[in-house]
Amino acid sequence: MTIARDGIREIAISTATLGVGAAAATWAAVAGSPWWWCAAVPLAVLWMFTVAFFRDPRRVIPTGPGLLVSAADGRVTEVTRLDEYDGIDGPALRIGIFLSIFNVHVNRSPCGGRVVRTHYQAGEFLDARHPESGVRNESMTVVLEPEAGMPGPLVVRQVAGFLARRIVCRLKANSRVKRGERFGLIKFGSRTELIVPDVEGLKPAVQVGDVVKGGSTVLVRFDAPQLAPTGGASPQASANAAVDPADGTGSELR
Q: Using an 8 Å Cβ cutoff, are 208 and 60 in contact?
A: no
Provide the residue-wise pLDDT of the chain in tens; the chain has 254 residues. 688 888 788 788 888 888 888 888 888 888 888 888 888 888 899 888 888 888 899 999 998 889 999 999 999 999 999 998 888 888 999 999 998 888 998 999 999 999 999 998 876 655 555 555 556 678 899 999 998 778 889 999 998 766 555 788 999 999 999 999 999 988 766 789 999 999 989 999 999 999 999 999 999 999 875 544 444 444 443 444 444 544 433 333 32
Catalytic residue among 14, 70, 109, 190: 190
Residue 44's alpha-carbon distances to 23, 56, 100, 169, in angstroms, are 8, 21, 21, 30
Is 175 noted as a catalytic residue in this protein? no
pLDDT value for 131: 56
- Phi then psi for 166, rounded to 5 degrees? -150, 125
* Domain boundaries 62-207, CATH class: mainly beta
pLDDT value for 250: 32
pLDDT value for 240: 42
- For 32: left if phi > 0, alpha if psi spans -120 to 50, otherwise beta; the answer is left
CB atoms within 10 A of CB 45: 12
pLDDT value for 59: 93
pLDDT value for 150: 86
